[in-house]
Amino acid sequence: MQGKLPIVLSIFLLSANLWGVSLDELIQSGLRNNSLVKKTDLQIRLMEAKQAEGKAKKFGEIDIVGSYTHYNLPRTLAPIVPSSLSPTSSVDTTQDLFTTGVQYSVPLFTGGALEQQVKIDNIATQMSHSKKRLSKEELIYNIRSLYLSALSLQELQSSQELYVQALEDLKENISYGVTLGKRAKIELLKANNDLIKSMGDVAKTRSSLEMIKGTLEATTHYDAIDSFEPLNIGMNTSANPSLSEINMDDLERFRVQDLEIEKGDKMINKVKASKRPQVALNAYGGYNYDIDKLDPFEREKLWQVAINLKWNVEDFGATSARVQQAKIARLQAITQKEATSEGFKKLFAKAKNEIDTALANYQTTQSQHALLQESENIENARYDAGVATLNDLLLAKSKTQLASSQMIQNRYAYQNGLFYLDYLLEQGVGSISSNVETQY
């Protein structure tokens, strides 16, 4: 039993890697490592930091302050008050004044500007989350589309290689016939010419497949892709939703536009708030030191509390201009939502049409392929019987091969249309088997 264990393990590992990398693996790798997703994650963190900054501003700030000043004439350590003007009182003075203290400043009333900024930052954070979802949807579709292209080329290459093998068999039979004097040498040259052309087609397909692999590796940061696990594509009549069944307001792309409009409203309110009275509280406590006398320091304790009022009564139209700019930005957001809606409807109609067209083309080509396969078998029998030319046989084979290639292309075009519809309806992220977080 122990001797059989390595063999069993080898068979298991071989079967696990039989189909190569899966689509789900590549998507998860892309969501973890792609720079576009990382960029949106960083944007969310940036907006969350700005949001925290805006909230903190409501509580003001505490500063430790200090200064050193040298005067050409002595200055008092503290402001002169009536008691210090008494004949018996003395006033401490110095030419080198050093101060230390603690200062607290807090806005008491900003006309709503600070509150509006907090709301704006919150909206910006929500927009960042929506844009992250859209970035993921776009990345997933790009990976899916590339994966389908790779599968199509991989399947096409296999079909072409089978066709090459069939031509090699035909060439071998013709060569044998030439040796026996039953076939003309020109037939061997024609068969060899088609064989060389078909081998060139295989090389081109292989090159295109390698390019797709490289693009997928760069997009997903997957180490190395050898082959691709096939997908089960059901060529059935499409049961996708119609445009009337879709609530576009539920889609993130439209939610971003709604948030942009809401942000415009808050910007208008923030600008208008600057015309209202601005009230702030400032408090200070500290000491003034006489450093002319090094030992000991003479000092005076000082503290003060002040409430400051600022009310802009006239700025000669500057605020009105800023309000107008904010209103225009809001109108631009409304116009952009309308443009997004128009573009979405066009893309949705195009996707549905491409799905239906690919399905119809596949069904047509499938029927043609069956007939062409039968015609090829007949031409092959007629050629063996000497009643058909080699050109007739090669033409039949090439038509069958062309139909086979078109079937492959139409099948994957159909699936790509479904994936694009998922992208438009933002259903790609929900179809991933596990939640993947970006790694830094």
Per-residue pLDDT at 437 exceeds 50: no
CB proximity list for 411: less than 8 A, separation 6 or greater:
233, 235, 358, 362
The whole domain housing 341 covers 23-57+110-276+311-428
Q: Which pLDDT value is given to residue 249? A: 87
Per-residue pLDDT at 120 exceeds 60: yes
Q: How much of the chain exceeds pLDDT 90, in percent?
A: 59
Domain count of the chain? 1
- Residue 105 located in a structural domain: no
- Residue 178 located in a structural domain: yes
Q: Which pLDDT value is given to residue 177? A: 86
CB 368 within 8 A of CB 400: no
Describe the crossing of helices 113-180 and 390-424 by its angle, rounded to 10 degrees. Answer: 170
- Residue 86 located in a structural domain: no
For residue 424, CA distances in Å to 250, 367, 388, 419, 436 come to 12, 32, 53, 9, 21
- Residue 299 located in a structural domain: no
Residues, the chain: 440
Q: Give the model confidence (pLDDT) of 236-249 as tens digits.
A: 766 678 888 888 88
Q: Which pLDDT value is given to residue 240? A: 73
Question: Exposed, middle or buried by CB within 10 Å (0-12, 13-18, 19+), for 137?
Answer: buried
Describe the crossing of helices 23-33 and 113-180 by its angle, rounded to 10 degrees. Answer: 140
pLDDT tier, 14 (very low <50, low <70, confident <90, very high otherwise):
very low
Q: Which pLDDT value is given to residue 439? A: 41
**Cα gap 394→387, rounded to integer Å:** 14
**Cα gap 390→167, rounded to integer Å:** 12
pLDDT tier, 289 (very low <50, low <70, confident <90, very high otherwise):
confident
Per-residue pLDDT at 434 exceeds 60: no
pLDDT tier, 285 (very low <50, low <70, confident <90, very high otherwise):
very high
**Cα gap 219→221, rounded to integer Å:** 6
Across 430-440, average pLDDT? 51
Q: Which pLDDT value is given to residue 15? A: 42
Q: Which pLDDT value is given to residue 11? A: 38
- Residue 389 located in a structural domain: yes
**Cα gap 68→12, rounded to integer Å:** 79
* Three-point CA angle 266, 268, 269, nearest 5°: 65
Q: Comparing C-alpha atoms, which of 397, 341, 419 is closest to residue 168?
A: 397
Q: Which pLDDT value is given to residue 79? A: 81
Q: Give the model confidence (pLDDT) of 294-307 as tens digits.
A: 655 678 889 999 99
Average pLDDT of the chain to the nearest whole number: 86
- Given strand 93-109, what is the order of strands in its sheet? 61-76, 93-109, 278-290, 298-310
Q: Give the model confidence (pLDDT) of 333-377 as tens digits.
A: 999 999 999 999 999 999 999 999 999 999 999 999 999 999 989
Q: Give the model confidence (pLDDT) of 136-188 as tens digits.
A: 999 999 999 999 999 999 999 999 999 999 999 989 988 988 888 888 889 88
For residue 408, CA distances in Å to 19, 24, 117, 153, 192 come to 18, 22, 56, 9, 26
**Cα gap 91→78, rounded to integer Å:** 9
**Cα gap 96→74, rounded to integer Å:** 8
DSSP state of 184: -
- Residue 164 located in a structural domain: yes
pLDDT tier, 436 (very low <50, low <70, confident <90, very high otherwise):
very low
pLDDT tier, 89 (very low <50, low <70, confident <90, very high otherwise):
low
* Three-point CA angle 43, 48, 53, nearest 5°: 125
From 81-90, 226-235, 336-345, the region with the lowest mean pLDDT: 81-90
- Residue 322 located in a structural domain: yes
Phi, psi (5° rounding) for residue 77? -75, -25
Category of 218 on φ-ψ map: left (φ > 0), alpha (ψ -120 to 50) or beta: alpha
Q: Domain holding 266: CATH number?
A: 1.20.1600.10
- Residue 71 located in a structural domain: no
State the pTM of this model. 0.81
